[in-house]
């Protein structure tokens, strides 16, 4: 949904419910008096529609979501995901499209909390989250056997002794305070990268290329996601214990690209492509290493709750970035 944010806000519908996006290399600015080619509404609006429902779900999840069995959660998440794509694809207005984005957010938030919590029950989930030297050779066959079992089945574990459902509020608060060392840097990382993605991508527009504004925006989003995918899959190669370093590097990315938006000193879009790919690598590494460190350093009885509680980190950072990106967009687009 975020990759389509520029199209959702700028598209026009023609007969047959087909989106019309100008394919030409010379886009027409929405605000001809501005030094930037801006939509009337920032792409951060799509970000907020995509993240606020997720934030609500993740805030409530540690309090009582464990009372709902996993199978219905997965079903609801899947239905919302399918409905979101159908709604956006056949919508005739920005408002209807944003409703579809909200359904995607519900699916994402509920799904992330559910599947991260399930890692406490299925050893196979940790095959990619555990370095080879940390694995128990004797338990590898058991984990691989578990990987072949269906995730949703009648005997799927809905609870287990010592799981998060048996933790008192005092125990939950104690565990949560211990997680702040992991939560805060992840919040900072996601704040910086989504401030870039939804606050600056739209303004990082190069006129001297064959790509239209919408096409440039899609390339930015694709390269970011490619970096995230690569780094989230690299845990066997590199484990980062101090995620604060990643937060600092991501903040430097934000400052650098914000300076480029203001001064326009980067001569080529390909330099921006490289920076965005690097941004995605940092974000993905911060995410996977945070949860990997938690998986290794929390006890079995606390792990399910710890995974669900730490989910709030990325969502909180993204929400804050969206709230700040909206006024930044309005300010910069008013500059002549």
Q: What is the pLDDT of residues 122-136, one digit of tens each?
A: 554 444 445 445 445
The pLDDT, as a whole number, for residue 118 is 76
* Number of Cβ within a 10 Å radius of residue 75: 11
Q: What average pLDDT score do residues 40-49 get?
A: 75
The pLDDT, as a whole number, for residue 138 is 52
Q: Give the residue, 48 or 17, on which the prediction is more confident.
A: 48
Instruction: Report percent pLDDT > 70 for the chain.
Output: 74
The tens digit of pLDDT for each residue in 150-182 reads 444 444 455 454 455 567 788 888 888 889 999
The pLDDT, as a whole number, for residue 65 is 76
Average pLDDT, the chain: 79
Distance CA 109, CA 121 (A): 20
* C-alpha distances out from residue 138 to 127, 141, 241, Å: 13, 7, 26
Neighbouring residues of 138: CB distance < 8 A, sequence distance ≥ 6: none
The pLDDT, as a whole number, for residue 336 is 56
The tens digit of pLDDT for each residue in 214-266 reads 899 899 999 999 999 999 888 878 888 889 999 999 999 999 999 999 998 99
Burial class (CB in 10 A: 0-12, 13-18, 19+), 51: buried
The pLDDT, as a whole number, for residue 128 is 44
Instruction: Report percent pLDDT > 90 for the chain.
Output: 32
Q: Give the residue, 75 or 39, on which the prediction is more confident.
A: 75
The answer to whether 88 touches 97, Cβ cutoff 8 Å, is yes
* pLDDT at residue 320 tops 80: yes
Distance CA 273, CA 65 (A): 40
**What are the φ and ψ backbone dihedral angles of 290, each rounded to 5 degrees?**
-60, -50
**What are the φ and ψ backbone dihedral angles of 300, each rounded to 5 degrees?**
-60, -40
The pLDDT, as a whole number, for residue 143 is 46
Question: What does the block give as tokens for 150?
Answer: 């269906």
* pLDDT at residue 74 tops 50: yes
Widest Cα–Cα separation across the chain: 68
* pLDDT at residue 28 tops 50: no
32 Cα distance to chain centroid: 33
Residue that is written with structure tokens 């949703």 in the block: 152
In the chain, which residue ranges form alpha helices assigned H by DSSP?
A: 5-10, 44-64, 70-89, 94-118, 137-147, 169-195, 213-232, 244-263, 269-297, 300-310, 312-333
Listed residue (23, 96, 50) closest to 197, CA to CA: 50
Q: What residues does each domain of the chain span?
A: 5-14+36-121+157-333
Neighbouring residues of 142: CB distance < 8 A, sequence distance ≥ 6: 123
Please, which pLDDT band fits residue 25 given cuts at 50, 70 and 90? very low
The pLDDT, as a whole number, for residue 156 is 47
Distance CA 105, CA 85 (A): 11
């Amino acid at each position: 949904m975020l990759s389509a944010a520029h199209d959702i806000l700028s598209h026009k519908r023609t007969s047959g419910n087909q989106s019309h996006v100008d394919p030409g290399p010379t886009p027409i600015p929405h605000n001809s008096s501005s030094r930037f080619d801006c939509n009337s509404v920032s792409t951060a609006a799509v970000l907020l529609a995509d993240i606020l429902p997720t934030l609500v779900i993740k805030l409530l999840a540690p309090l009582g979501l464990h009372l709902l069995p996993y199978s219905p959660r997965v079903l609801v998440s899947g239905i919302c995901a399918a409905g979101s794509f159908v709604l956006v694809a056949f919508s005739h207005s920005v408002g209807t499209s944003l409703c579809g984005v909200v359904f995607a957010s519900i699916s994402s938030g509920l799904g992330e909390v559910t599947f991260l919590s399930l890692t406490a029950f299925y050893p196979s989930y940790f095959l990619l989250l555990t370095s080879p030297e940390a694995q128990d050779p004797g338990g590898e066959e058991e984990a691989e056997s578990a990987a072949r079992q269906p995730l949703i089945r009648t005997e799927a574990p809905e609870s287990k002794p010592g799981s998060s459902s048996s933790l008192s509020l005092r125990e939950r608060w104690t565990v949560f305070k211990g997680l702040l060392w992991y939560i805060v840097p992840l919040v900072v990382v996601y704040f910086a990268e989504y401030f870039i993605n939804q606050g600056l991508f739209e303004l990082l527009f190069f006129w001297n290329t064959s790509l239209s504004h919408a096409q440039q925006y899609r390339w930015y989003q694709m390269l970011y996601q490619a970096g995230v995918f690569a780094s989230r899959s690299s845990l066997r190669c590199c484990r980062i214990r101090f995620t604060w370093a990643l937060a600092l590097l991501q903040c430097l990315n934000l400052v650098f690209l914000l300076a480029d938006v203001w001064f326009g000193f980067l001569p080529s879009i390909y330099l921006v492509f490289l920076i965005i790919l690097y941004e995605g690598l940092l974000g993905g590494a911060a995410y996977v290493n945070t949860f990997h460190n938690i998986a290794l350093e929390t006890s079995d009885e606390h792990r399910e709750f710890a995974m669900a509680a730490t989910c709030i980190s990325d969502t909180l950072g993204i929400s804050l970035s969206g709230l700040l990106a909206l006024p930044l967009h309005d300010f910069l687009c008013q500059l002549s």
